[in-house]
Amino acid sequence: MRGLATLPGLPPLLAIGGLLAAWQAASLAVGLDSLPGVPATLAAFPDLIRDPDTIRNIADSLRRMVVGFAAALALALPLGILMGRSRTFARLMNPLLMVTYPVPKAALMPIIMLWLGVGDLSKTLVIVFAVSLPVIYHAYAGARAVEEKMLWSAAAMGMSGPARLLRVVVPAALPEILVGCRTGIVIALITMVTSEMIARQSGIGNLIFNSLDFAQYETVYAMIVVVGVLGIVLDIAFERLRTALVGWASPVGEVAVASA
């Protein structure tokens, strides 16, 4: 919970406090084992953290998320930027993206499991698919919106076409690319958990369902809290990175978070 202390300002703390209060009130009102209160859930943490199995599950999840996210960037950024600079390529890619975007990527899990098993590869691959789409779209939009005259100015200085792509299009599109990355992080987190719930072998999602099977409701809620905190910490870290990288840019509009 130390991540919360670094939040700037009071309003976010108030919001989280309100959420916890509502949770506690609901727990007291319902009075069922399947809705433990805040103290009971927090009390589950010491044991969880001491359990090497829990740590292994969380580490497995994070490893797949990081690898999947990195692979998605490596795939999506070149595709998106090329789409933004080549009309033909964009017209080729757009229908493919439009077909795949609305498909929940977790729905691909059964098919991928059939071919690649229930291990890391399948789950990482689903994260790669899910994260790629918003990143491609934002990289595409960013690269397409680069002012033609900025490129002309660079060309007049003697800069070649490939150099302009790398040294003008990429930095100019970076603010928009980072908007895509931020959406991508949230989607990676969602896909990470859902893929583990389908292919139950290791990970946070797996732990949640296993605990449910054993009626360890405190653990279920504790793991959901872990995912929430992960989301907040990643978002704060990303926001810092964004400010450092594109502090020169005028602020871009708020992110619409897509569901996976």
Could you list the residues that contact other proteins (CB under 8 A)?
Answer: 147, 149-150, 152-159, 168, 171-172, 174, 246, 248-250
CB of 140: closest distance to other proteins in angstroms?
20
Residue 64's Cβ-count burial label (10 Å; 0-12, 13-18, 19+) is buried
Output 47 or 147, the one with its CB closest to other proteins: 147
Closest CA to 84 of 145, 151, 154: 145
Output 148 or 213, the one with its CB closest to other proteins: 148
CB of 163: closest distance to other proteins in angstroms?
9
Output 6 or 153, the one with its CB closest to other proteins: 153
Output 167 or 240, the one with its CB closest to other proteins: 167
CB of 141: closest distance to other proteins in angstroms?
17
Output 2 or 149, the one with its CB closest to other proteins: 149
CB of 197: closest distance to other proteins in angstroms?
42
Q: How far is CA 146 from CA 62, 77, 167, 172, in A?
A: 35, 15, 12, 6
Q: Is 227 left (phi over 0), alpha (psi -120 to 50) or beta?
A: alpha
As a whole number of angstroms, the distance between CA 64 and CA 124 comes to 5
CB of 88: closest distance to other proteins in angstroms?
17
